[in-house]
A and B are shown apart, each in its own frame.
Chain A
Amino acid sequence: GEDVEQSLFLSVREGDSSVINCTYTDSSSTYLYWYKQEPGAGLQLLTYIFSNMDMKQDQRLTVLLNKKDKHLSLRIADTQTGDSAIYFCAESNFGNEKLTFGTGTRLTIIP
């Protein structure tokens, strides 16, 4: 079945850029997503990218997709304390509403 992997932890100084990485195995993935989960809360969709794109930028967020290597990254510029959360990447296939989530990366901001 599909497999989505992320590193578990990332610590970044306030004001620096954070880069969260994700790898996936399903070559038929159509859309890839980044979700944010704050403590004790549900998931909030941050951004997504279609598989025929290699980059998408949305304010402080930049998503890079290397389809050949099945590697997805999320860059958060000028990281703030409010960015502390767990970040999940997820993938879906065309015509399938089911999402497969990565293991989540806990982002900690160092003052």
Chain B
Amino acid sequence: GAVVSQHPSWVICKSGTSVKIECRSLDFQATTMFWYRQFPKQSLMLMATSNEGSKATYEQGVEKDKFLINHASLTLSTLTVTSAHPEDSSFYICSATVGSRQRTEAFFGQGTRLTVV
């Protein structure tokens, strides 16, 4: 199957700093990528839908100024957590979709564990 690479796998940062997470589709072009947040022992919460060349669509309750998403190319989307705080500590996962409009096939990155101290 297609490969989605997420980087870094884990990051520790100080409160108030910004952290950028990259999501790359390695062997396919992804017009749409999704960013999820997963709290411990909970499901994935969709944060935003990232479309190449256009602004991301954020889910209700997700602060777009805090979680900046850029999808500059068909193989790369980035999520920047700005002015991070301890409550932003979480597991962030991206996915990229391929295939026809009939069936969604989503491939997931390995996730990034963010710890804000």
Chain A residues packing against B (C-beta within 8 Å): 8, 30-31, 35, 40-45, 48, 50, 88, 92, 94-99, 101-104, 106
Over the window 2-18 of chain B, the binary record of Cβ atoms lying under 8 Å from chain A Cβ atoms (1 yes, 0 no) is: 00101000000000000
Residues B104 and A97 in contact, CB atoms below 8 Å apart: yes
Across the A-B interface, give the 9 residue pairs with the lowest CB-CB distance, nearest first: A42-B108, A43-B108, A92-B104, A42-B110, A97-B97, A103-B43, A95-B101, A97-B104, A42-B111
- How many angstroms from the CA of A103 to the CA of B44 in the assembled complex? 8
- Asked whether any CB of chain A lies closer than 8 Å to the CB of B106, the reply is yes
A-B contact count (CB 8 A): 62
Q: Which residue of A lies closest to B33 (CB)?
A: A97
Chain B residues packing against A (C-beta within 8 Å): 1, 4, 6, 32, 34, 41-44, 46, 49, 91, 93, 95, 97, 101-111, 113
Residues A31 and B104 in contact, CB atoms below 8 Å apart: yes
Closest Cβ–Cβ distance, residue A91 to chain B (whole Å): 10
Residues B32 and A97 in contact, CB atoms below 8 Å apart: yes
- How many angstroms from the CA of A98 to the CA of B106 in the assembled complex? 9
- Tell me which residues across on chain B come within 8 A of A45, comparing CB atoms: 1, 105-107
Q: Which residue of A lies closest to B97 (CB)?
A: A97
Residues A41 and B110 in contact, CB atoms below 8 Å apart: yes
Closest Cβ–Cβ distance, residue A69 to chain B (whole Å): 22
Closest Cβ–Cβ distance, residue A32 to chain B (whole Å): 11
Known: A42-B108, A43-B108. A98 touches B49 (CB 8 A): yes
- When the two chains form the complex, which single residue of A41, A50, A88, A98 contacts B46, counting CB atoms closer than 8 Å? A98
- How many angstroms from the CA of A83 to the CA of B106 in the assembled complex? 21
- Tell me which residues across on chain B come within 8 A of A103, comparing CB atoms: 42-43
